[in-house]
Amino acid sequence: MRPAWSILPDEWKDALSEKGLRPFRAAQILQSLYRDYIEKWDDATTLPKELRQQMQEEFPITKTELSDVAESADGVKKLLISFADGASVETVLIPATGRFTQCISTQVGCAMGCEFCASGASGLDRSLTADEIVSQYMFGRKFGQITNIVVMGMGEPFANYDETIRALKLINAGKGPNLGARHITISTCGVVPGFERLSQEGIQFELSVSLHAPNNELRSQIMPVNRRWPIEELLETCAAYTQKTKRAITFEYTLVKGFNDSLQCARELARRVKSVPMAKVNLIPLSPVSHRPDFKTPSQETMLAFLDVLMKNGVQTMLRRSRGSDASAACGQLRRRLIEG
Ligand code: SAH
């Protein structure tokens, strides 16, 4: 048994043959899955009834349930999606002019333990399978045409590399949903082995790296992953990735009041990221999380001064707006349930 949403379009003929089914059905199957977006094989009316039954047995369509929806005043929607075993994850829909971005999760919980992030506050339950990752997109698209995907929900994509990349390849596939690779952004906290693997895929996904501090002393305090792969090794890996793929990396830097928001931090950050060709920086105001009330968002003035230092040092930088926080849908606020507990 292989879930239908885990099979790449080019793999269908072989998958059918292996089960003694006729490979010429692949084209019809792909149309049912990715033109008609069926949710159960019974609805694949172009297939003979008997085949529909066999498809259900051999290649089931992943069953998910929408357990809850929360909507923030700025139009951001957060969906809680549950899987057959009762596990659930959140996915966020972010409308903007000319864009409809979906933020998807790769794991139930997270093992990385970043101090400022709610997703990891109670550890990792399990990783999602490729079809479960795809199923979030399948839910999201019912709310409007998704133009961009960011893999910035719960979990660390490079700690669930195979299933995540399979899901993204499927969503990207021409005979699948056909979402452009450049519209898909993977975000990692710096799991170094993932970079080399991604550079070998030959697909132009965008890559973001969560940096959040300009040196090991600060970074290790808030991101345990830094003790395994310190900042020098991470940045060297980023430089090698950029040289090999010719793709720019964006560094995410969440500003935490009194911790990493000084002008000295800004200068040090500028110097560091300039070791990576074409590097860009995204500054994110901290979204408050209930388990760390001591972490606060800096004032707008402080954030603009920080931005200014980076720009004067020639680093392409953006200061993000925080969205969705009144629905606990902002960066770092995603959990396994809508109601904390
Ligand atoms: N594990 C991946 C993807 C998930 S996090 C990663 O670490 O990149 C997506 C982004 O939200 C990361 O940059 C993360 O550091 C950031 N983030 C986490 N908690 C946050 C918070 N409380 N406020 C603002 N951004 C946060």
At 272-296, the pLDDT tens digits run 999 999 999 999 999 989 889 999 9
Closest atom of ligand 1 relative to the 209 alpha carbon: 8
Annotation: CATH topology of 64-327? TIM Barrel (3.20.20)
Ligand 1 in reach of 116 Cβ (< 6 A)? yes
What DSSP assignment string belongs to 153-196?
SSS-GGGGHHHHHHHHHHHH-TTTT---GGGEEEEES--THHHH
Of all protein residues, the one whose alpha carbon is nearest to atom 3 of ligand 1 is: 152
pLDDT over 60 (residue 339): no
pLDDT over 80 (residue 333): no
Please give the mean pLDDT across all residues of the chain: 94
pLDDT of residue 338: 44
Q: Find the farthest-apart pair of alpha carbons in the chain and give their distance in angstroms, rounded.
A: 69
pLDDT of residue 336: 58
pLDDT over 70 (residue 236): yes
Ligand 1 in reach of 286 Cβ (< 6 A)? yes
Q: Find the 138 Cα to ligand 1 centroid distance in Å.
A: 23
Ligand 1 in reach of 156 Cβ (< 6 A)? yes
Class of domain 4-58: mainly alpha
- Give long-range contacts, CB 8 A cutoff, 24+ apart: 91-96: 91/136, 91/139, 91/140, 91/153, 92/153, 92/324, 92/329, 92/334, 93/140, 93/143, 93/144, 94/323, 94/324, 95/144
pLDDT over 90 (residue 39): yes
Q: Find the 85 Cα to ligand 1 centroid distance in Å.
A: 26
* Domains of the chain by residue range: 4-58, 64-327
Mutate to test the pocket of ligand 1, among 89, 110, 114 (most ligand atoms within 8 A of CB): 114
What is the CB neighbour count within 10 angstroms for residue 155? 29
Rounded to whole angstroms, the Cα distance separating 246 from 63 reads 39
From the list 162, 95, 45, 118, the residue with the least C-alpha distance to 332 is 118
Single-letter residue type at 308:
D
Mutate to test the pocket of ligand 1, among 92, 205, 210, 294 (most ligand atoms within 8 A of CB): 210
Q: Find the 7 Cα to ligand 1 centroid distance in Å.
A: 29
- Identify the band that residue 337 occupies on the pLDDT scale cut at 50, 70 and 90: low
pLDDT of residue 74: 87
Of all protein residues, the one whose alpha carbon is nearest to atom 13 of ligand 1 is: 210
For 95, counting Cβ atoms within 10 Å of its Cβ (0-12 exposed, 13-18 middle, 19+ buried), the class is: middle
- 331 as an active site residue: the answer is yes
Closest atom of ligand 1 relative to the 118 alpha carbon: 19
Q: Find the 68 Cα to ligand 1 centroid distance in Å.
A: 22
For 138, counting Cβ atoms within 10 Å of its Cβ (0-12 exposed, 13-18 middle, 19+ buried), the class is: buried
DSSP state of 9: G
Q: Do domains 4-58 and 64-327 have the same CATH topology?
A: no
Contacts of 262 (CB under 8 A, 6+ apart): none
Residue in this structure with the two tokens 């172009």, named with its chain if needed: 46
pLDDT of residue 247: 96
Closest atom of ligand 1 relative to the 289 alpha carbon: 22
Rounded to whole angstroms, the Cα distance separating 190 from 145 reads 31
pLDDT of residue 334: 73
pLDDT of residue 332: 72
Active-site residue among 103, 238, 265, 331?
A: 331
Which two structure tokens, joined as six digits, stand for 230?
Answer: 């310190």
- 232 as an active site residue: the answer is no
How far CA 241 is from CA of 14, 16, 46, 208, 266, in Å, comes to 33, 37, 45, 12, 24
Ligand 1 in reach of 148 Cβ (< 6 A)? no
Of all protein residues, the one whose alpha carbon is nearest to atom 17 of ligand 1 is: 332
Query: Taking the model in full, what pTM does it have?
Result: 0.95
pLDDT of residue 340: 39
Contacts of 9 (CB under 8 A, 6+ apart): 30, 34, 170, 173, 174, 175, 176
Which two structure tokens, joined as six digits, stand for 199?
Answer: 């550079």
- Cβ contact 333:325 at 8 Å: yes
Active-site residue among 58, 90, 114, 301?
A: 90
Contacts of 246 (CB under 8 A, 6+ apart): none
Single-letter residue type at 46:
T
What sign does the CA torsion over 124, 128, 132, 136 have?
Answer: positive
Write the pLDDT tens digit of every residue in 60-109.
Answer: 999 999 999 999 888 999 999 999 999 999 999 999 999 999 999 999 99
Q: What is the mean pLDDT of residues 234-255?
A: 97
317 or 341, higher pLDDT: 317
What DSSP assignment string belongs to 261-316?
-SHHHHHHHHHHHTTSTT-EEEEEEPPP-TT-TT--PPPHHHHHHHHHHHHHTT-E
What percent of the chain shows pLDDT beyond 70? 98
